[in-house]
Structure 1
Amino acid sequence: MRLVQTRVSKEARERVLETLDEENIEHVVADEGGDSDAVIVYFPLPDGAVEKVLDRLQSEGLHEDAFTVITDIQSATTPSLDELESQYTQGPDDEVGLSHATLRTNAREVTPSRPMFVTFAALSAIVAAAGLILNSAIVIVGAMVISPFAGSALSASVGVVIGDYESVLDSLRSQLVGLVVVVTSATAAAFVFRYGRLVPTRLAIENISQVSAFSIPIVLTFVIAVFAGAAGALALATDLSVSLAGVAVAAAIVPAGSAVGLGVVWVKPMLALGAVVLLLMNILLINVSAFVALTLFGYRSPASARLRDYLRFDVGTVAYAALGAVVLVLLVGSLVSTYQYFVLVETVNQNVDEVLTEEPYASLELVDVQTDYEARLVAPAEPDTVTVVVGRAAGTEYPDLSAALQGAIAEDATRPVTVRVRFQSYQETTPGSGAVESASERTGVAAAVGALGSPRTTTLPSAAPTAR
């Protein structure tokens, strides 16, 4: 519920009050006092009605820059309020949403001051770096909770759709600062972790599953960014809590930024580059999806709003512009690299499926396919590596599987690939038969249920040497 207080000039008073009567909006009029002929008009409105009513009043003579205060109130009692709430819950033409002023206020409320933003960004990056090394999803989630990126990532989209380009520029500056702070803090933390002997200096971080998950630009990681941006924007537009959406926004930014720092300290350029691609693509997708969501929600920028009115040319602006240009170049490279990666992954998955449906490999169970991609705009010096994990019956051998997979993938792939095959196997004794039946490895609930329901002799899975 909102209480609108606006100053109405003598010339527009009659038309404004008639409009409020036509809209069945109860209002109170008070003289401004002094030598002024203007009046102050007070009227309560549902959240979704504010923008529509103000637009209507402005078309009837209320000046766009008229002194207007919109405050949040707990409740109001007027004869027509229930009717207004019913009308504007869904709104005219099925449009819903808050006023531009309220949306702007909501975006600013979830954006901390610059010193606090930098502090919390650094803390979240350090916590995320520790969580990645520990391979702990719980610690990483904790880093997301304290991350301040929800407001800075959403304010740009909010500013564009409501014509507040000052918020757009401030948001872009915050996002650039956030990128630098996260990567720098994570790098410093990783340096302390490694050379302070808190972890083994020869730790193979590329083999840690959480590090790998946030340094490879796979489709599912981009899905997080898309829906996080959309959810955050809709939370702002409907005056709902942004905290959960903020965690999702942080999930797309903080771990990837921390993975960049780990790659730098452990001198893993491909890991760091993959994390940079993921980080920049996630930021782009958050901004785009938030803008699309707000646009579909019915928000439009006023025709009078112009970006150049907010641009100032000084040393700070030039520095931000230079940093933004660097990020833009990296982003373009990330787009090209991501497209190449998607094409390679699609080719690999399709050919692996085709080979494993043919004899003599039809009895194998596909467990996992991992594609280690070297992000380069030109042909890579070393082949990309594809690791295929399959389950097999104990005692069976498939010495030609890697060659079959490599041949099939090489026919369609535009980049050279090396294929590695890792086998998983175990033995299982079925009840009553007394015979040992070989089967591929099963995990999770199915294995637990089997353990309760039948006696079983199990041999731990082992990795067979890579076939070449």
Structure 2
Amino acid sequence: MELRLIEVVLPERDLGDLEKLLEGRGEVLDVTLLRSLGPYRYPVLGVWKERFSTEEIIVRILTSAEKTEGLTDLISEKFANVDGFRINIIPVAATIPNIPENAEPIQPEVSPEEHKRPKERISREELYSSIETAAKLTKVYIAMIVLSSIIAAAGLLSNNVVVIIGAMVVAPLMGPNVALALATTLGDLTLARNALKTNLVGISLAVILSVALGLILPVDPSMPEISSRTSVGFAEVIVAFASGCAGVLAFTTAAPAVIIGVAVAVSLLPPLVAFGLLLGAGYVSYATGALLLFLVNLISVNLAGVATFIAQGIFPRNWWEADRAKSATFVALMLWALLLAALLSFILASRI
């Protein structure tokens, strides 16, 4: 079970309000107890209090990772305007004694109007922080793009699927694409600009490097691992959609990052490198097919990512930001859908 320790810093005078909010029965709560938070019901695995100054107190709440979103939202809404208020969300590597995976409180029977179950995901702030970090343009990101492109090119040229899979694991392309989907969902222009910049730099580096390799190395477009990436079918679109959904779900549920990298890179890096190799070797028509496959996959991954974020209930906390985000999301979804439809129509028309 993924755990999070939520630290709430408050003036001591507001402790009573927080305790009422948590409906606590002591400083340490049994894992089988149910704590009711307004219209929500959460499994709180432990609560501890500590005074660290003459006027402030810190309350630590242990809960599962996917339950932090609603809990932090509720506490923030209650104490957002209190001077000195702060929430820190800390990943918990382990706790002793161990908490069983099935240590969930029994949910009471309540009407649909009374019981609003929170989404199963990590908190919005933790999600944003992890995705923002993954979308940053750093020296490590550039190095990983270069290395994964070389590995992918070697795998394609030698028709070695194992080497290509290795490139998929190394490739960091999932970060900026998931960030772009989140920025679209939240209407966050700063995150969108950073994600686009990082994405463009990564794509450009992969293309430039693979074109250079195509100029100096023999490229055979009939090799299965290359030829399979010079045409687009509905199966490839389905794989791209599944990759985008898997990437977003892995982020929102704190799944291992390697799973995300494999899921997204399988639809992006190989056709991109195949495009560069074929273009460098002078096979323009084959290169065009690989480029179309990459573009269809890129659009499908982002479209699926936005749809999955919406399905997960990711939205800004403030109503004025939510209105702006709703408009931005609608426009982006229409744009991604129109681009995908245009590309698929062009592909179908070229086959007639």
TM band (smaller chain): 0.7 to 0.9
State the Cα deviation string for residues 130-151 of structure 1 (Å, max 9, x = none): 3222222222222212111122
Which secondary structure state, in structure 2, belongs to the residue aligned with residue 72 of structure 1? Answer: strand
- Give 1:42's match in structure 2, choosing from 55, 60, 72: 60
- Give 1:60's match in structure 2, choosing from 73, 78, 95: 78
Which secondary structure state, in structure 2, belongs to the residue aligned with residue 244 of structure 1? Answer: helix
Which secondary structure state, in structure 2, belongs to the residue aligned with residue 27 of structure 1? Answer: strand
Which secondary structure state, in structure 2, belongs to the residue aligned with residue 69 of structure 1? Answer: strand
Q: 1:45·1:84 contact (CA, 8 Å) conserved in 2?
A: no
Q: 1:154·1:233 contact (CA, 8 Å) conserved in 2?
A: yes
Distance 1:156 1:98 in 2: 19
Deviates more, 1:118-127 or 1:182-191: 118-127
Which secondary structure state, in structure 2, belongs to the residue aligned with residue 207 of structure 1? Answer: coil
Q: Which residue of structure 1 aligns with residue 274 of structure 2?
A: 259
Distance 1:173 1:63 in 2: 36
Q: Which residue of structure 2 aligns with residue 322 of structure 1?
A: none
Is residue 217 from structure 1 mapped to residue 217 from structure 2 by the alignment?
no
Q: 1:7·1:38 contact (CA, 8 Å) conserved in 2?
A: yes
Q: Which residue of structure 2 aligns with residue 114 of structure 1?
A: 138
Distance 1:330 1:290 in 2: 11
Q: Which residue of structure 1 aligns with residue 314 of structure 2?
A: 299
Is residue 336 from structure 1 mapped to residue 342 from structure 2 by the alignment?
yes
Tell me by how many angstroms 1:255 deviates.
1.1
Q: Which residue of structure 1 aligns with residue 50 of structure 2?
A: 30
Q: Which residue of structure 1 aligns with residue 89 of structure 2?
A: 70
Alignment map for 1:74-113 (pairs within 5 Å): 74-75=94-95, 92-93=116-117, 95-107=119-131
Distance 1:265 1:335 in 2: 29
Distance 1:164 1:151 in 2: 16
Q: 1:51·1:100 contact (CA, 8 Å) conserved in 2?
A: yes
Distance 1:190 1:93 in 2: 54
Tell me by how many angstroms 1:112 deviates.
7.2
- Point out the structure with max Rg over C-alpha: 1
Q: 2:182·2:309 contact (CA, 8 Å) conserved in 1?
A: yes
More relative contact order, 1 or 2 (CA 8 Å, 6+ apart): 2
5+ residue gaps in structure 1? 194-198, 310-328, 345-372, 374-383, 385-412, 414-468
Distance 1:39 1:49 in 2: 23
Q: Which residue of structure 2 aligns with residue 364 of structure 1?
A: none
Counterpart of 1:95 in structure 2: which amino acid?
K
Tell me by how many angstroms 1:165 deviates.
5.0
Alignment map for 1:190-269 (pairs within 5 Å): 190-193=214-217, 199=218, 205-269=220-284
State the Cα deviation string for residues 48-88 of structure 1 (Å, max 9, x = none): 22111122223333449932211112226799x9876666x
CA RMSD of aligned residues (A): 3.5
5+ residue gaps in structure 2? 25-34, 37-43, 108-114, 326-334
State the Cα deviation string for residues 8-48 of structure 1 (Å, max 9, x = none): 245644322210126365533333425xx332222212212
Cα 1:67–1:164 change in 2 (3 A) is farther
Q: 2:299·2:336 contact (CA, 8 Å) conserved in 1?
A: no
State the Cα deviation string for residues 299-344 of structure 1 (Å, max 9, x = none): 22323448999xxxxxxxxxxxxxxxxxxx99977752421323x4
- Give 1:175's match in structure 2, choosing from 184, 199, 205: 199
Distance 2:339 2:4 in 1: 46
Counterpart of 2:89 in structure 1: which amino acid?
I
Q: 2:135·2:195 contact (CA, 8 Å) conserved in 1?
A: no
Distance 1:275 1:191 in 2: 17
User: TM-score, length-normalised on structure 1?
Assistant: 0.59
Which secondary structure state, in structure 1, belongs to the residue aligned with residue 73 of structure 2? Answer: helix
Q: Which residue of structure 2 aligns with residue 286 of structure 1?
A: 301
Deviates more, 1:91-100 or 1:12-21: 91-100
Which secondary structure state, in structure 1, belongs to the residue aligned with residue 79 of structure 2? Answer: coil
Is residue 17 from structure 1 mapped to residue 19 from structure 2 by the alignment?
yes
Distance 1:232 1:220 in 2: 18
State the Cα deviation string for residues 143-169 of structure 1 (Å, max 9, x = none): 212111122221222344466654333
Q: 1:111·1:148 contact (CA, 8 Å) conserved in 2?
A: no
Q: 1:112·1:148 contact (CA, 8 Å) conserved in 2?
A: no
Distance 1:163 1:46 in 2: 28
Which secondary structure state, in structure 2, belongs to the residue aligned with residue 93 of structure 1? Answer: coil
Cα 1:265–1:78 change in 2 (3 A) is closer
Alignment map for 1:311-460 (pairs within 5 Å): 335-342=341-348, 344=349, 373=350, 413=352
Count of matched residue pairs:
312
Cα 1:174–1:18 change in 2 (3 A) is same
Distance 2:169 2:133 in 1: 17
Q: Which residue of structure 1 aligns with residue 158 of structure 2?
A: 134
Percent of aligned pairs with the same residue? Answer: 20
Q: 2:67·2:119 contact (CA, 8 Å) conserved in 1?
A: no
